[in-house]
Amino acid sequence: MKIHTQAVHAGDRKKATDAIPVTTPIYTASSFAYESMERLDRIFGREEDGYCYARYDNPSTAALEELMTSLENGHGSLACGSGMAALQMALVTALTDRRKSVLAANALYGATIGLLMNVLEPSGVSVRFADVCDLEAFRAAAEEAKPGCIVMETISNPLLRVGEIDRIAEIARAAGAALVVDSTFATPLVVRPLEWGANMVVHSLTKYLAGHGDVLGGVVVSDEAHFTSLRSLSRTLGPVLGPFESYLTMRGIKTFPLRMERQCANACRVANWLASHPKVERVYFPADPKHPDAAAIHRLFAPNLYGAMVSFEIRDAGRNEVFRFMDSLKLIVRATSLGDVHSMMLYPMMSSHREISPKHRERMGIRDNLVRMSVGIEAVEDIIGDLEQALQ
């Protein structure tokens, strides 16, 4: 079944009574009762499928999890209250019964770095960073660090580097590590990391999947080997997504492939236009034939889909010049997120990577003149027109 069909149908029409709702309802109950204590006992003991307590499971959330499992071709899913909660659940699951060591890509979302350095490391997990785009160096780092978990992004935030997931998966297997991939920027339309050897894939549902700027949520889609542990940990830690947010996310996902195709096409045109502008020093976009990871992109990505994120550096600009440029935008929204139907722009130095030290940002290649744009579904001529007037 094609992803466009999965997005519309998977998870829906679960029979609760003789009538079958065509859209999954919002089940707000915090607990569920049964006519027989024997049956409730079996459900509590997970001997029978069913719902007993909303921290464990909820019909609305279960429908979303079934949908996400289908989209990513996984074994099972866990929907969480945010993308960062989902990432933490994946990392904790990966480190269960493994060496408490994480080898992470050296290009990651700032909050992910914060989670690794400020939460996991003080709790006794060793953390090391290496370049996933340099396979030999990464392999050497894995042999030395002996990680229990390797974490990377499909498309890195904000410089849009692309590591070879299947090769990194081989390195993870050789090290006895689980591979966790944050695929928020790519979405299942562009890349399905589990099909390339990842053990768990994480998404911020807030972004392209829900897609309308009205949901905060995250999801872990797991292979079979890690799913039981993931769900068991969730029963204790309780990171679960609420039923209303699950409903909104499912509604958004029904149009996600259509939106994402439009956003990818718009991003290609925006990136090409920016590359020819005299006030733009450099453009970062996966469709660039000169992209340092072009071979991996060609091999891993779905044909003619490169994501909808475009980062670029404004020539001779510092913080003040960047602020003036962004204050001049009339259509593109200045806000800290991405993946909405409207185009959005942020300044990584003050937002996504604010808590990263200047020296660390410099090592990551994030300069003071860099801005990151999430291209929306508007008429691309209007997006380009707004960029053109703001760059004057």
Shared domain for 178 and 267, answered yes or no, is: no
Q: Identify the sign of the CA torsion 115, 117, 119, 121.
A: positive
Following DSSP, what letter does each residue of 327-380 receive, concatenated? HT-SSSEE-S---SSS-EEE-GGGTTTTTS-HHHHHHHT--TTEEEEE--SS-H
Give me the CATH number covering residue 59.
3.40.640.10
Of 205, 237, 253, the one marking the end of a domain is: 253
Report percent pLDDT > 90 for the chain. 85
Of 215, 234, 253, the one marking the end of a domain is: 253
Shared domain for 245 and 285, answered yes or no, is: no
Q: Give the pLDDT confidence score for residue 366 in this predicted structure.
A: 80
Shared domain for 153 and 70, answered yes or no, is: yes
Per the CB < 8 A criterion, the answer to whether 42 and 49 are in contact is no
Indicate the length of the chain as a whole number: 392
Residues 326-335 as b/e (b if ≥16 CB within 10 A, e otherwise) read beebebbeee
Domain assignment of residue 278, given as a range = 256-390
CA angle 122, 216, 351 (to 5 degrees): 60
Of 253, 276, 308, the one marking the end of a domain is: 253
Shared domain for 62 and 190, answered yes or no, is: yes
CA angle 281, 287, 289 (to 5 degrees): 75
Closest CA to 168 of 208, 120, 201, 203: 201
Q: Give the pLDDT confidence score for residue 11 in this predicted structure.
A: 83
Give the pLDDT band (50/70/90) at residue 336: confident
Between residues 13 and 291, the one the model is more confident about: 291
Shared domain for 156 and 174, answered yes or no, is: yes
Dump pLDDT digits (tens) for 15-30: 655 667 888 889 999 9
Q: Identify the sign of the CA torsion 171, 173, 175, 179.
A: positive
Per the CB < 8 A criterion, the answer to whether 207 and 338 are in contact is yes
Closest CA to 238 of 58, 42, 26: 58
Please tell me the distance from the alpha carbon of residue 237 to that of residue 233, in angstroms, as a whole number.
6
Dump pLDDT digits (tens) for 319-330: 999 999 999 999
Averaged pLDDT, 199-205: 98
Q: Identify the sign of the CA torsion 240, 245, 247, 250.
A: negative
Number of structural domains the chain divides into: 2
Dump pLDDT digits (tens) for 258-290: 999 999 999 999 999 999 999 999 999 999 999
Count the helices and strands in the chain (H runs, E runs). Answer: 15, 12
Q: Give the pLDDT confidence score for residue 347 in this predicted structure.
A: 93
Shared domain for 323 and 180, answered yes or no, is: no
Q: Give the pLDDT confidence score for residue 255 in this predicted structure.
A: 97
Shared domain for 177 and 197, answered yes or no, is: yes
Closest CA to 242 of 20, 58, 10, 367: 58
Q: At 353, phi and psi to the nearest 5?
A: -125, 30
Shared domain for 207 and 279, answered yes or no, is: no
Shared domain for 322 and 193, answered yes or no, is: no
Between residues 110 and 263, the one the model is more confident about: 263
Report the chain's mean pLDDT, rounded to a whole number. Answer: 94
Shared domain for 325 and 366, answered yes or no, is: yes
Averaged pLDDT, 130-159: 97
Q: Give the pLDDT confidence score for residue 235 in this predicted structure.
A: 94
Per the CB < 8 A criterion, the answer to whether 100 and 124 are in contact is yes
Taking only Cα atoms into account, the Rg of the chain, rounded to an integer number of angstroms, comes to 21
Give me the CATH number covering residue 373.
3.90.1150.10
For the record, the structure tokens of 300 come out as 């891993």
